[in-house]
């Protein structure tokens, strides 16, 4: 075990103990306040009984008032302590999940990103990015939909046709800074976890902002005029009486008519408010927490600045948390009309609905257009925090050195697969700077794992995360793979045809002119040996370009012998195994040259197919 791993484990244990002690202290405090609250309530009740039982002396009522004041103080303090207790319990859960990540205990994670899977993606399904025991499941700490989608988009960056070197380096610096501040990252995750009750974005709020609903319309002036005349009529009737009372009654009738005319349309808008109103305080709390973080990395500072908006576009000049608090107060006012009696009275004596609609519209015009961007800023924070978990899982990992060279290359020293626990991880050195690396070896020897190791580390490198390697240097390039092949009987697609489609997609991407890394595992395994060999050779020739490098695993030694004239640039590597009295063993170490070994018959015998 390396010093960095020991240090990580020690820091995790210390934080666990610190959180446990703090939680114990809060629980004891909560228990004391609960008892004091109960005692003060009983004292208040007893003093009230004594007051009525003994001639109502003043000292009993004074004592009851003091006891009631104490009761309210204890209730308020108890509520705050309960909130702190909740925060600590969530923090402990989050911290335990970090410990689970170091052990690759996937049972601790409920969100595996299954819903984020994308059909026909160049590599997502081949590299286990989403689904059970996936990369997303291991590293994700996002609780908003924006955060989950942003993390997905950055994991897809290796397939982007608009890759930017500066964007990768900015994310790397941001992720590196966050990875060194685990307590802060855990605190920020706790804020989002507590405030976001379910996966998803505030869709009702965004719909309100984008739809333009909320306007008071042309009836505002009419409602104000009727209201003024109604109050004027009331005042006149108070002074003159008699038939003058019919004046305010007449305007009340007009007011009720206008209420009936506008009730349905106004109700649609206020029903929408009811949908996003509960989310406002929650997202305001998240914004407030992020606004208070001190950061150094330029990209983190840029994302934080997004929470305050751009002066040109944001006419409110407010932070995101203040903007939502302003809307929250407007919504509190709207809550007053939700009771039928209050709705009737408020709209009878004033243009209450129109005032509320006007306030909503003014907020939407001044602040609404910037909120979607600020919600996306939360997503960027969460995605960066998710990527920072790799440094905790692999503390001896490295930040990859990425260049924008037009000639693709991949150079790794002691490279490992991030979905394999440290105690089982076998690392390999691997370099490819041109052509194709042909990986040979027996069944189960490690060929496919090597391809996936290279691919998933490319994904992490371009997303901005640390990688489980001693050193990793690579150029910015697209990634495409054909490894995990699945048929689709519903669409009449066989396994072989499904593989043909994936190979065709790789060839299609290669023709777009951008640097490319391809990963092909056991090409054309679903057809006869001659067609497989001829087809694989054709693919290798089409992909033999200066801007393309790749890896191909195969059992087909005839394919390896077809390059006698060096028509294709090939480099050979292999995995091997050994036998002893205990059976078959693999070392999973990559070696130069071509393998000539096979273990198929041994494995068949091992499972009892033949003696």
pTM of this prediction?
0.88
Please name the residues in contact with 13: beta carbons below 8 A apart, sequence gap of 6 or more: none
User: Tokens for 589?
Assistant: 């170490």
Do residues 358 and 311 make contact, with C-beta atoms less than 8 angstroms apart? no
Please name the residues in contact with 177: beta carbons below 8 A apart, sequence gap of 6 or more: 295, 296, 297, 300
Q: What is residue 34's predicted lDDT score, i.e. its pLDDT?
A: 94
Burial of residue 52, with CB atoms counted within 10 A of its CB: 0-12 exposed, 13-18 middle, 19 or more buried: exposed
Report the range out of 307-311, 342-346, 425-429, 497-501 with the highest average pLDDT: 425-429
- pLDDT tens digits for range 398-452: 999 999 998 999 999 999 999 999 889 999 999 999 999 999 988 788 899 999 9
The dihedral region occupied by 591, where left means phi > 0, alpha psi between -120 and 50, and beta the remainder, is: beta
User: Tokens for 259?
Assistant: 């209420």
Q: What is residue 556's predicted lDDT score, i.e. its pLDDT?
A: 76
- In percent, the amount of the chain with pLDDT more than 90 equals 57
- pLDDT tens digits for range 456-484: 999 999 999 999 999 999 999 999 999 98
d(CA 504, CA 508): 6
For residue 467, the 8-state DSSP code is: B
Which carries the bigger pLDDT value, residue 235 or residue 95? Answer: 95
Q: What is residue 198's predicted lDDT score, i.e. its pLDDT?
A: 55
pLDDT mean across residues, the chain: 88
Which carries the bigger pLDDT value, residue 414 or residue 554? Answer: 414
Q: What is residue 597's predicted lDDT score, i.e. its pLDDT?
A: 64
Q: Kindly indicate the confidence band of residue 313, based on its pLDDT and cuts at 50, 70 and 90.
A: very low
Q: Kindly indicate the confidence band of residue 213, based on its pLDDT and cuts at 50, 70 and 90.
A: low
Question: 3-state class of 218 per DSSP?
Answer: coil
Paired with 432 in beta bridges are 410
Q: What is residue 489's predicted lDDT score, i.e. its pLDDT?
A: 47
Q: What is residue 311's predicted lDDT score, i.e. its pLDDT?
A: 46
The mean-pLDDT minimum among 129-143, 248-262, 379-393 falls in 248-262
Q: What is residue 14's predicted lDDT score, i.e. its pLDDT?
A: 96
Q: What is residue 496's predicted lDDT score, i.e. its pLDDT?
A: 81
What's the count of helices (H) and strands (E) in the chain, helices before strands?
A: 19, 12
Q: Which helix (H) or strand (E) holds 430?
A: strand 428-432
């Amino acid at each position: 075990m390396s010093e960095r791993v020991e240090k990580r484990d020690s820091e995790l244990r210390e934080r666990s103990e610190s959180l446990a002690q703090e939680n114990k202290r809060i629980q004891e405090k909560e228990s004391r306040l609960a008892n004091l609250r109960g005692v003060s309530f009983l004292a208040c009740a007893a003093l009230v009984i004594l007051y009525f039982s003994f001639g109502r002396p003043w000292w009993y009522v004074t004592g009851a008032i003091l006891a009631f004041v104490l009761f309210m103080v204890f209730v308020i303090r108890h509520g705050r302590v309960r909130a702190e207790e909740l925060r600590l319990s969530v923090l402990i859960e989050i911290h335990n999940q970090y410990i689970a990540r170091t052990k690759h205990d996937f049972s601790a994670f409920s969100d595996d990103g299954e819903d984020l899977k994308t059909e026909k993606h160049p590599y997502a399904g081949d590299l286990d990015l989403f689904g059970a025991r996936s990369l997303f499941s291991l590293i994700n700490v996002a609780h908003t939909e924006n955060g989950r989608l942003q993390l997905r988009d950055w994991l897809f960056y290796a397939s982007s046709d608009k890759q930017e070197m500066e964007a990768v380096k900015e994310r790397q610096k941001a992720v590196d800074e966050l990875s060194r501040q685990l307590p802060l990252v855990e605190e920020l995750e706790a804020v989002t976890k507590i405030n976001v009750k379910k996966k998803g974005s505030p869709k009702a709020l965004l719909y309100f902002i984008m739809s333009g609903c909320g306007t008071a319309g042309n009836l505002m002036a009419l409602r104000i005029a009727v209201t003024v005349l109604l109050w004027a009529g009331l005042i006149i009737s108070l002074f003159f009486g008699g038939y003058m009372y019919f004046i305010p009654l007449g305007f009340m009738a007009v007011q009720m008519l206008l209420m009936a005319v506008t009730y349905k349309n106004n109700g649609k808008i206020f029903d929408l408010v009811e949908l996003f109103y509960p989310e406002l305080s929650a997202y305001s709390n998240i914004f407030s927490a992020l606004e208070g973080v001190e950061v150094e990395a330029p990209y983190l500072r840029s994302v934080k600045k997004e929470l305050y908006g751009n002066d040109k576009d944001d006419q409110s000049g407010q932070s995101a948390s203040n903007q939502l608090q302003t809307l929250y107060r407007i919504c509190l006012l709207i809550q007053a009309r939700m009771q039928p009696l209050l709705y009737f009275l408020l709209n009878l004596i004033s243009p209450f609905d129109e005032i509320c609609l006007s306030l909503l519209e003014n907020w939407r015009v001044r602040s609404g257009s910037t909120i979607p961007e600020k919600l996306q800023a939360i997503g960027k924070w969460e995605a960066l925090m998710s990527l920072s978990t790799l440094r905790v899982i692999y503390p001896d990992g490295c930040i990859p050195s990425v260049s924008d060279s037009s000639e693709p290359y991949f150079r790794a020293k002691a490279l490992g697969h991030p979905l394999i626990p440290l105690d089982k991880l076998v690392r390999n050195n691997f370099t490819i700077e041109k052509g194709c690396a042909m990986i040979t070896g027996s069944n189960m020897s490690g060929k496919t794992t090597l391809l996936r190791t290279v691919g998933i580390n490319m994904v992490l490198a371009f997303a901005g995360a640390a990688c489980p390697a001693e050193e990793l240097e690579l150029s910015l390039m697209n990634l495409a793979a054909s490894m995990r092949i699945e048929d689709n009987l519903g669409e009449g697609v066989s396994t072989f045809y499904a593989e043909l489609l994936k190979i065709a997609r790789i060839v299609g991407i290669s023709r777009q002119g951008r640097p490319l890394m391809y990963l092909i595992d056991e090409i054309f395994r679903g057809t006869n040996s001659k067609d497989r060999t001829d087809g694989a050779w054709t693919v290798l020739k089409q992909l033999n370009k200066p801007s393309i490098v790749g890896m191909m695993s195969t059992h087909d030694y005839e394919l390896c012998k077809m390059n006698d004239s060096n028509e294709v640039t090939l480099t050979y590597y292999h995995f091997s195994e050994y036998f002893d009295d205990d059976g078959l063993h693999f070392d999973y170490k990559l070696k130069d040259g071509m393998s000539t070994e096979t273990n198929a018959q041994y494995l068949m015998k091992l499972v009892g197919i033949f003696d």
